[in-house]
Amino acid sequence: MPKPPKGIAEARRKEVLEALRQIGKSAYDAIYSGQFPEISLPSRSVGNLVYDDELKQFILGDAVVKRSSRNIKHIRPYTQLLWLAFFANQLVQEERTSTLRDVFYSAQAFNMEFTDQSESDEIITDLETALMKAREDFNVYPDERSAIFGNMIIEYTKPGYEGRRQDLSTHPDGLMIGPALTTAEFIETDAEMVLAIEKGGLFTRFVEEKVHERFKALLINTAGQPPRSTRYVIRRLNQELNLPVYIFCDADPWGAHIAMVIRSGSANSAHLRELTTPSAKWLGVYASDIETYELPHDKLNELDIKRVHELLKDPRYTEKLWQDELQTFLKNKKKAEQEAFSRYGLTYIVDKYLVDKLEMAKSM
C-alpha cells in the first residue's frame, strides 16, 4: 500500500466530507426533534451580486434563500439537493470522479428526478453555494480540458496514483489538466512565472521555442475560455508557489474576457473564492498592440462591438488599463489574433513581443 496522501489535497477532501456530513446531520437532527428539515444558502440572484474591489471578483451579498421540506414547492429542490450531497459524499468516499452530465444520469439510478440537465446543473451550483466549495472539490469535473507544460515535478494524490511523481516537461504536447492534475501537489519547480495562453498553436510554439527554459515559465494552454479546473490550477500556482501569472489572448473583447475571467472569475461563480487569481496580469494582445506592432487585423463586427460596450459597464473592468484598451477597440474597430505575429516570422512573438511584455510587466 502506498502511504496515504498528505497535505493540501487531503485536507481539502476532509473539509468537504465534513461539510457534507453536516448537511446530512442537520436533516437527521431536524427529523429526530420532530421538525421539517431545511437548508439555507446565500442567494445567487443578480440582485445579490456585489463586486468586491479588494478580492477583485463578484461575491454574494447577505440575501439568503431557504429550501424547506415544510413547503410543498421546496420539497423537490430540497430533496434533489440532499440527494446530491449524498451522491457527492459517495464520489469523494469512493474516490471516483464524475461530470455534470453524469450526475444528471446518475440521479436516475436513485429514482431522483431531474427534468433536464439544466435542472441538475442548478442543484450542483446550489450545493457549491451551500458548501462554499467548487464542484471539483466533490469530484464533479467538466468535460473540457486544457494542458500544462514546464519544469515542475508534481505528486499525485489521486487514488491508484498516490505518491507517484510526474515531471511536467516530459511530454511536449502538454499534459491534460483533469482531476489528477488538479489534485496533485506541487513538489519542485524552478519556474518563476506562469504564462497562460489562449491557443494550442501558440502553446506549442512556446514549447518549441523553449520559453519554459529561456523565461523559466510554466506554460498553460487555456484552450479558449479555460475550464474551471484550469483556473483553479492557475490560482494554486499563484497562491502556493507565489508565481506571477501572465495572460496572453487574442486582441478582441472575447480574448480580453478570457484574461478577466482568469483574474476575477465569472458572475456565476460569485459563491466561490477559489477560481480567481486577483494578481494575474493581462499582458496582451492589446487593442493598442495592433497599432504598435502593425499587426494584420480584421474589422470588429457588430457582435464584437456590442460585447465591448457590455464590458465597459462591467465592474471588473474599471481599471485604467482595461478601460483604455476597450476604448481603443471602439476607436479603431480592429481585432487581431495571437497568430498575427507570424507576419514577422514564427519566432518573433517569443523573441520580441514576449520580451517587450515581460519588461512592461515589471512596472505594472
319 contributes a contact to a copy of itself by CB under 8 A = no
b/e string for 93-121 if b means 16 or more Cβ within 10 A? eeeebbebebbbebbeeeebebeeeebbb
> Which of 5, 37, 150, 178: binder of a copy of itself (CB under 8 A)?
178
Residue 94: CB minimum distance to a copy of itself, A: 8
Nearer to a copy of itself, 294 or 319 (CB): 294
HEC per residue, the chain: CCCCCCCHHHHHHHHHHHHHHHHHHHHHHHHHCCCCCEEEEECCCHHHEEEECCCCEEEECCCEEEEECCCCCCHHHHHHHHHHHHHHHHHHHHCCCEEHHHHHHHHHHHCCCCCCHHHHHHHHHHHHHHHCCCHHHHCEECCCCEEEECCEEEECCCCCCCCCEEECCCCCCCEEECHHHHCCEEEEECCCEEEEECCHHHHHHHHHCCHHHHCCEEEEECCCCCCHHHHHHHHHHHHHHCCCEEEECCECHHHHHHHHHHHHCCHHHCCCCCCCCCCCEEEECCHHHHHHCCCCCEECCHHHHHHHHHHHCCHHHCCHHHHHHHHHHHHHCEEECHHHHHHHCCCHHHHHHHHHHHHHHCCC
Site size for a copy of itself (CB under 8 A): 53
Q: Which of 32, 51, 78, 105 is catalytic?
A: 105
- Is residue 158 near a copy of itself by the rule CB under 8 A? yes
CB of 272 to a copy of itself, least distance (A): 21
Residues 335-364 that bind a copy of itself (CB under 8 A): 337, 339-346
Q: Which is nearer to a copy of itself, 24 or 201 (CB)?
A: 201
Nearer to a copy of itself, 97 or 264 (CB): 97
User: Is 99 an interacting residue with respect to a copy of itself (CB under 8 A)?
Assistant: yes
Given the complex with a copy of itself, which of 118 and 279 has the nearer CB atom? 118
Question: How many Cβ atoms from other residues are within 10 Å of residue 274's Cβ?
Answer: 18
Between 101 and 273, CB nearer to a copy of itself: 101
**Segment lying near a copy of itself (by CB under 8 A), choices 96-104, 236-244, 274-282, 352-360:** 96-104
Do 256 and 244 contact (CB within 8 A), yes or no?
no
Cβ closest to a copy of itself, residue 177 vs residue 256: 177
**Residue 165 C-beta: closest distance to a copy of itself, Å:** 9
1 binds a copy of itself (CB under 8 A): no
Rule CB under 8 A: which of 252-311 touch a copy of itself?
296
151 lies in the binding site for a copy of itself (CB under 8 A): no
Asked if residue 317 binds a copy of itself (CB under 8 A), the reply is no
Is residue 181 a contact residue for a copy of itself (CB under 8 A)? yes
Closer residue to a copy of itself (CB): 121 or 339? 339
Among 58, 83, 138, 141, binds a copy of itself (CB under 8 A): 141
Q: Quick one: which segment of 16-24, 93-101, 264-272, 273-281 binds a copy of itself (CB under 8 A)? A: 93-101
Q: Which residues contact 175 (CB under 8 A, 6 or more apart)?
A: 147, 148, 149, 166, 168, 181
105 catalytic? Reply is: yes
Residue whose C-alpha is closest to residue 98's, from 146, 109, 4: 109
How far apart CA 354 and CA 185 sit, in angstroms, is 29
Say whether residue 161 binds a copy of itself (CB under 8 A): yes
Q: Kindly tell me which residue out of 16, 84, 131, 177 binds a copy of itself, with binding defined by CB under 8 A.
A: 177
Q: Per rule CB under 8 A, is residue 16 in the interface with a copy of itself?
A: no
Just list the catalytic residues: 105
Point out which residues bind a copy of itself (CB under 8 A).
Answer: 96-99, 101-102, 104-106, 108-109, 141, 143-145, 147, 156, 158-161, 164, 166, 170-181, 199-201, 204-205, 208, 210, 223, 296, 337, 339-346
